[in-house]
């Protein structure tokens, strides 16, 4: 029997044995300590193995079974840049695949998200959004209506709730086909179909379109929303549109605006600058489509989570990432048009948040008239 297992008091001590008792006790303690350390080392190895296996399993699941989110954004070059600058880095970091649903930014398209939930299968090609990028006016309107999730970290008690996170700014510019028209027309010349025969492209939306109508009629940029906010001013904008209605080619998205020019369907159009810059820098005729230094209309777009979000927790996680990721700042600065000659009219989001429903209804009625 090992020394450490002998009961010390069970034996009658013999002469001289008591001299070695302290040594025997020390040996026992060392053996016990050694066994304890061996056990702890074994447990540590076991836990490390389990942890490595769990990490490997998690990594495998994240790589081969990622989560998915659908984000609604404008299409075209902006969607391409989003994929490279935002969604691919997010997938690598968080194992979430972002699927983009291209939309036209209209109130009607936004409302369809809620209609589908109330009436499933009404829209065959329906995709439920978890996050959207929309113009600031629509975001503020939808936020006030309780249709978007409030960003509590950006909302101060006693103030209007904040639902949007700044995404980017895009300038709506006047562009024309320089192979058919050498001189810059300006917004007034946009209406002069006698001097510059040909079709005109305009956005199928009252936002920016009505502002352009008043600008072409001589309203100073600083007075645009004061005029448009009156019944007389609104009538004036629609009368101005009536003057060129037979010549208008409508577009809904920036991609469509670029296609209108590329196909030759219009001599000139309003359009998001990034689409025209991309179109003009490539293809068979680089530089064919010119950008006017005449007044640019700057639209501000924001990220927001709809109350109808399919995955609200994951959507909020993506919003949190967009707030702090360095890629966001790079993306936000991507589409500023740096033309020192151009004046800029910032589209008034507060105005559109207040008047979007009524003016959109009137605009759609005007479009439906024969």
Beta bridge partners of 45: none
How many percent of the chain have pLDDT more than 90?
63
Residue 245 in this model has a pLDDT that exceeds 60: yes
Q: How large is the average pLDDT for residues 275-280?
A: 88
Q: Are 111 and 284 in contact (CB under 8 A)?
A: no
Residue 352 in this model has a pLDDT that exceeds 80: yes
Q: Give the pLDDT confidence of 83-108 residue by residue, as tens digits.
A: 999 999 999 999 999 999 999 999 99
Same-domain check for residues 116 and 153:
yes
How many percent of the chain have pLDDT more than 70?
79
The alpha helices in 121-230, defined as continuous H runs, are: 136-144, 186-190, 206-216, 224-228
Same-domain check for residues 74 and 30:
no
Q: What's the domain range around 20? A: 3-63
Residue 1 in this model has a pLDDT that exceeds 50: no
Same-domain check for residues 100 and 181:
no
Q: What is the DSSP string of 91-122?
A: HHHH-EEEEEEE----HHHHHHHHHHHHSTTS
Q: How confident is the model at residue 55 (pLDDT cuts 50, 70, 90)?
A: very low
Q: How confident is the model at residue 294 (pLDDT cuts 50, 70, 90)?
A: confident
Same-domain check for residues 29 and 119:
no
Same-domain check for residues 200 and 134:
no
Q: Hey, is 5 helix, strand or coil? A: helix
Q: Give the pLDDT confidence of 216-238 residue by residue, as tens digits.
A: 999 999 999 999 999 999 999 99
Same-domain check for residues 185 and 225:
yes
Go through the chain and tell me how many residues it has.
370
Residue 283 in this model has a pLDDT that exceeds 80: no
Q: Give the pLDDT confidence of 115-155 residue by residue, as tens digits.
A: 877 776 655 557 899 999 999 999 999 999 999 999 988 87
Same-domain check for residues 54 and 203:
no
């Amino acid at each position: 029997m090992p020394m450490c297992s002998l009961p010390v008091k069970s034996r009658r001590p013999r002469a001289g044995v008591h001299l070695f008792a302290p040594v025997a006790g020390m040996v026992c303690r060392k053996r016990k300590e050694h066994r304890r350390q061996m056990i702890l080392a074994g447990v540590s190895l076991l836990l490390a193995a389990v942890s490595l296996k769990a990490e490997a399993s998690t990594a495998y699941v994240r790589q081969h079974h990622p989560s998915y989110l659908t984000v609604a954004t404008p299409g075209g070059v902006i969607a391409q840049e989003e994929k490279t600058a935002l969604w691919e880095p997010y997938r690598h970091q968080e194992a979430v695949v972002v699927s983009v649903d291209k939309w036209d930014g209209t109130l009607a398209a936004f409302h369809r998200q809620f209609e589908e939930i109330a009436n499933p299968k009404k829209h065959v090609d329906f995709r439920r959004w978890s996050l959207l990028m929309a113009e600031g006016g629509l975001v503020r309107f939808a936020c006030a209506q309780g249709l978007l999730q409030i960003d509590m970290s950006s909302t101060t008690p006693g103030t209007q709730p904040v639902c949007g996170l700044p995404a980017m700014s895009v300038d709506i510019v006047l562009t024309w086909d320089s192979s058919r028209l050498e001189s810059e027309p300006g917004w007034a010349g946009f209406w002069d179909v006698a001097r510059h025969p040909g079709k005109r492209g305009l956005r199928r939306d009252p936002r920016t379109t009505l502002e352009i109508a008043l600008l072409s009629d001589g309203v100073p940029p600083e007075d645009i929303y004061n005029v448009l906010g009156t019944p007389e001013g609104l009538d004036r904008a629609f009368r101005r549109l009536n003057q060129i209605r037979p010549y208008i080619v409508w577009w809904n998205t920036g991609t469509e605006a670029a296609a209108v020019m590329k196909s030759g369907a219009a001599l000139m159009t309003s359009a998001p600058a990034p689409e025209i810059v991309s179109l003009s820098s490539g293809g068979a005729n680089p530089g064919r489509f010119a950008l006017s230094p005449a007044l640019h209309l700057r639209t501000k777009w924001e990220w927001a989570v709809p109350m109808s979000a399919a995955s609200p927790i994951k959507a909020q996680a993506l919003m949190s990432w967009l707030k702090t990721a360095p890629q966001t700042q790079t993306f936000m600065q991507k589409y500023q048009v740096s033309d020192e000659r151009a004046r800029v009219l910032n589209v008034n989001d507060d105005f559109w948040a207040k008047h979007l429903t009524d003016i959109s209804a009137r605009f759609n009625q005007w479009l439906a008239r024969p």
